[in-house]
Structure 1
Amino acid sequence: MRIPIKRIVSIIALAMTLLIVAIITLPYFFNPNDFKPQIAEVVKEQTGRNLDLQGVLKFSFFPWLGISTGRIVFSNAPGFDEKPFASLEESIIKIKLLSLFTKKIETSGIVLKNLVLNLARNTQGVNNWDDLFRTDPTTTPSSSTPATASQTENDLLKTFAIGGINIENAQINWQNQQTGKQLVIKSINLDTGRLVINEPIAIDLSFVASNEAKLIESIQLTTALIINEKLDHFVLNSIELHSITEGGFADKALTTTGKAGLTLDLPSQSVKISGLQVESGDLKIAAELNGTHISEHALFEGPVSVASFNPAKVLHEWGITLPVMQDGLAFKKLAFNADLQASADSATLKNLSLSLDNSQMKGSIDITDFLQPAIGFNLAIDSIDVDRYLPPTDKKDKPLSSPASALAIAASSLPVETLKNLNFNGELSVQNLKISDLKMQAVHLKLNAKDGSINTQQSINHFYQGIYSGHLNIDTPGNQPALSLDETFEHVQIEPLLTDYQGKAKFSGIVTATAKLKGQGKNTDSIKSSLNGQLTFQCQNGVIKGFNLQKIIDSGKSLVEGTSMPNDHKNDQTLFSDLTGTATVKQGLIQNDDLVAKSSKLHVNGKGQANLNTEKLDYQLTAKLLETADTELKQFQNTPIVVHVGGTFDDPTFTIDMASILTEQNKAKIEKIIDKNKNKIDKLMNKLDKKIGPGASDFLKRLF
């Protein structure tokens, strides 16, 4: 028997009416607040913590089945602060009632207001949320297979439609008692569009973060998120980030913007970051990165570039004051690009290309273990003037130093603990280098530093028409560095070197020298006072400026023979064809006993000391005239002429022992000449004081 359609419709209408009436009248007979104790008891059994439902629970039934809460407080884990683990002032969730009849769950949205999370880690490294995620060993594992469970989850997700998530004025407090670090993220506001699988979900997030250093970051982020039904593939399109940084190192607020796209695929454990662009003032960074093994041992690879910018200006905006440089136009242009490979504790830059002002650098850098970094490098620079970036100096104040000694002094000035922790292994080559006003070409440096031992090998293939090579070792067995160096200079033109370095040159010639020295100390003075070792030196075709031995001999000849005094020589200098010697160094005192200088007319022997600590000279040179065709000087041949060298490295003095060139048979003749030429001799005496050294004229007068 067929039931009339009209009757069926009437039955359904009656049922719906009764259901609606029941829903409307249910709140009058059912009060959810009566069940607060039972709800708190269940939470206590499941978590071991207290749930305090302080606010009023409210139900709504039509057309949305919903619940709203007042203030809720969830207690902290045992052993942590008494302040709650979490609290919120209000929460709202509503489900469309009629959608339940279609086996779908459609919500109007989830609202959380004034949520506060207090996260902490104690001194033992225990987090205050660890207990919430412990599994119960008595729980029986599900008998369903992973494939079945996954399919069930996917089917369940398809039944959900969430109108959006709205979090208002939330705050997260993080305190790490192990490190003393603190982080506060407040004013968290999150708004999302309708949450639908495989469709873009608009996300608008903002918050303010601050740490114990009073660095404040205000962040705004927008993007569109796409999630697949398996919840294992995520796409973030059109990510836009806007950040304002205040406090910390910056004197004023810094604005940073960023754009990117991101694709995360969990099955393949891969992530792709495309079109990454970060800008802060003049600084612009771009990258394309691919990540693998993202769950464990994540590795990111891809090109990274920094567009040309003014680093001095950017650092100034960041509140970093640069020291005054010799060149006001230095450090004004920097650009960079490389292929990056980075993990959580290491990074490698390959195909590195960096330009700084007029210099170009290429090569690679490898950093392993960020906590205790081991750095490897292989770099080549075409040309660089280091002086441009150094503080202004007066050439007169610069002490002479070799490449190895300069490296030793620079390294020894660092704290011993820093030296012990250095871990470097690499090579650096510079085609054209200028430093301390010295010019050099084809410079090569090899550096190895590990376990408190630092070794360098350096060479300069073109060093003032000569060659330089050296080796330096620094060890840190105790509280101060111990160093040893071995250096060789071959065929170096000393005059242009000294002119560039100090602005003037009192010596010229072709120098070949070696140095093997050891010492210890934390600064220049302590190193110099501890130096011990050996030196050798040779100078060919040399000139000593400011001292004219030939002029002194000529003046003596005139006195002896009673002839007129010679006019000033055109050049106040002494020439020699060869100068050699060796020296020992003990506690910073250089002792040389075998100095030999030769010229066409003279043979000079010398011995004495040079004190590195006081920079004072104490030398005695003994010169003899060689037998030549010059008969006018025969009476002086084989007569020793003694010259005392004193003063300092920067200002040496030369004093002639006139008694060494005078004999008894000439004294009477000289006395007559002195009486006859008194005025002229007085003028000569004044000149001798100026040219030879103070006291020379008094010494001559005492002789006669």
Structure 2
Amino acid sequence: MRAAKWILIIVGLLVALVVAGIVVLTVFVDPNRFKADIADAVGRETGRELRLEGDIELSFFPWLALTTGQGSLGNPPGFAAVPFVSWREARLRVRLLPLLRGRAVLDTVKIVGADFRLLRRADGTANWEGWGPAPAASGDIAAPAGMVAGLELEDGRLQFQDDVAARLVQLDDWQLAVGAIRPGEPIDLETAFHATTVGLPAARLRIVGRYVPRDTATVLENFRLDGTLAGAPLAVPEIPLELAIPSARLLTANNEIDIPEWRVQLGLFVAKGSLQATMQQALSWSGELALTSSALREGLAQWGIAAPATRDPAVLGPLELKTQWRYALATLAAQPLSLVLDDTSLSGKLTVTLANQPLSEFELQGDRIQLERYLPPEDATSEPFVLPTAALRALQVRGTLGFDAATLEQTRMQRVRIGLLLDEQGAHAN
């Protein structure tokens, strides 16, 4: 009993000494004295300049917490002398007792006001590459034991300048929340931002999903993107956007992608289907597609595309398209293809060759059609239909349309066959 008593006394004294040491460190040690040492260490390891302009605050039990004020990390040598990333505040907390036992348990890492500036130059080099010395072989370093409760970005910003594609993309009001990060366990993610780029509508988006690590595959579950598009070239104030992928798998062993089901809603258009891809030798894609619209004319008008004027303004209404498709060697083939437009049902095939001179060829057979409904209005002042973009005007389209029965005014026809050619001069039929 006496020995146990002395053991307890000794343990109590040791704990008191540890607590006293923590108090002394907290009160008398100024972590800002080590800013230069921290910056030098980061510079040696990454080849980038670290600046800690704000104060560093240090606290202990039960968390070993480090909070920094304003700071930045520079670009690699050869790039502009502007920060690769800057921030207004950053917080990192580690539980003290597990750390003493060699296990790192981190609280949610929080960064406020992060501003990332990504640049890819015309020669292909990028400022997110080149992080100092190459890491040692995986067999030389043991995997860290521990977990991170999560990562939060608040009020962030990201700018991506791609000189290869001559495009600038910017994310503002960027919020990011990454769930607990534990080795071998799923990771939840949620992010929201406002994206802008020249020539495309601005997008306000929210994305959620779950990353599930597997030995033979990378799995994404419950992925969902929703938001709105606004601005030019849209002809309406905004268009709702939704994308849902219940499950997607990247099979690392044979470089295959498998998405059994996906769904997209973009304004008045709804598409769903499946997607498979293989990247073993030549990249190839395949899948199923079902596209519907309650009103084709109005759906195109949302995008600033005026459908051709017709004698019957009610045509170009309900649309339903179904096909199995495959893309390989710059050729897209859709076969079999079924299409229902207004009161006409068609079936056939479509081939699009994306070479130096793009060419689309089709062959469709329909049941019946009233041709007069699709003729231009009799009003001579009506504007002729013009293809909406230079890219479409340059696209060569040729093919045949066949109908079991057709009417034109008072004329009834059977087994009608129409050859069509669409080029930069317009549409031609025979």
When the two structures are superposed, what TM-score results if normalisation uses the length of structure 1? 0.52
Alignment-derived partner of residue 288 in structure 1: 274
Report the AA paired with residue 162 of structure 1.
V
What does 1:88-487 align with in structure 2 at a 5 Å threshold? 88-130=87-129, 132=130, 142=137, 144=139, 152-153=142-143, 156=144, 159-197=145-183, 199-213=185-199, 215-228=201-214, 233-237=218-222, 239-250=223-234, 251-268=236-253, 269-293=255-279, 299-307=284-292, 309-342=294-327, 346-369=331-354, 373-393=358-378, 428-432=401-405, 441-444=414-417
Q: Secondary structure at the match of 2:24?
A: helix
Report the number of matched residues: 421
Deviations 1:490-523 (A, max 9, x none): xxxxxxxxxxxxxxxxxxxxxxxxxxxxxxxxxx
The percent of aligned pairs where both chains have the same amino acid is: 24
1: CA distance between counterparts of 2:320 and 2:171? Answer: 35
Change beyond 3 A, Cα 1:101–1:49 = closer
Alignment-derived partner of residue 69 in structure 2: 70
Alignment-derived partner of residue 59 in structure 2: 60
Deviations 1:665-684 (A, max 9, x none): xxxxxxxxxxxxxxxxxxxx
Change beyond 3 A, Cα 1:325–1:373 = same
Q: Secondary structure at the match of 1:307?
A: strand
Name structure 2 gaps, 5 residues minimum.
Answer: none
Deviations 1:140-177 (A, max 9, x none): x6383xxx87xx43xx3xx3222121110111112233
Which one has the bigger helix percentage? 1
For CA contacts below 8 A with separation 6 or more, give which structure has more relative contact order.
Answer: 2
Q: Secondary structure at the match of 1:58?
A: strand
TM superposition shift of 1:362: 1.4
Report the AA paired with residue 354 of structure 1.
L
What does 1:31-46 align with in structure 2 at a 5 Å threshold? 31-46=30-45
Q: Secondary structure at the match of 2:61?
A: coil
2: CA distance between counterparts of 1:316 and 1:416? Answer: 18
Deviations 1:534-565 (A, max 9, x none): xxxxxxxxxxxxxxxxxxxxxxxxxxxxxxxx
Alignment-derived partner of residue 540 in structure 1: none
1: CA distance between counterparts of 2:413 and 2:251? Answer: 55
TM superposition shift of 1:426: 5.7
2: CA distance between counterparts of 1:441 and 1:133? Answer: 71
Report the AA paired with residue 177 of structure 1.
D
Q: Secondary structure at the match of 2:33?
A: helix
Change beyond 3 A, Cα 1:318–1:442 = same
Deviations 1:325-356 (A, max 9, x none): 11122111111111233469553322211111
TM superposition shift of 1:286: 1.8
Name structure 1 gaps, 5 residues minimum.
Answer: 396-409, 460-704
2: CA distance between counterparts of 1:29 and 1:37? Answer: 19
TM superposition shift of 1:425: 7.4
TM superposition shift of 1:10: 3.9
Instruction: Compare CA radii of gyration and give the structure with the larger one.
Output: 1
Deviations 1:200-242 (A, max 9, x none): 54432111001123621000123344335x69533322x3322
Report the AA paired with residue 26 of structure 1.
L
Change beyond 3 A, Cα 1:336–1:134 = farther
Q: Secondary structure at the match of 2:42?
A: helix
Which one has the bigger strand percentage? 2
2:79·2:127 contact (CA, 8 Å) conserved in 1? yes
1: CA distance between counterparts of 2:237 and 2:310? Answer: 24
Alignment-derived partner of residue 17 in structure 1: 16
1: CA distance between counterparts of 2:161 and 2:168? Answer: 5
Q: Secondary structure at the match of 1:194?
A: coil
1:330·1:357 contact (CA, 8 Å) conserved in 2? yes
2:216·2:252 contact (CA, 8 Å) conserved in 1? no
When the two structures are superposed, what TM-score results if normalisation uses the length of structure 2? 0.81
Change beyond 3 A, Cα 1:371–1:322 = same
TM superposition shift of 1:84: 2.4
Deviations 1:637-669 (A, max 9, x none): xxxxxxxxxxxxxxxxxxxxxxxxxxxxxxxxx
2:209·2:220 contact (CA, 8 Å) conserved in 1? no
2:283·2:328 contact (CA, 8 Å) conserved in 1? yes
1: CA distance between counterparts of 2:69 and 2:124? Answer: 34
Deviations 1:425-482 (A, max 9, x none): 76554444567998654455678999x9xxx9x99xxxxxxxxxxxxxxxxxxxxxxx
Supply the RMSD in Å over aligned alpha carbons: 4.1
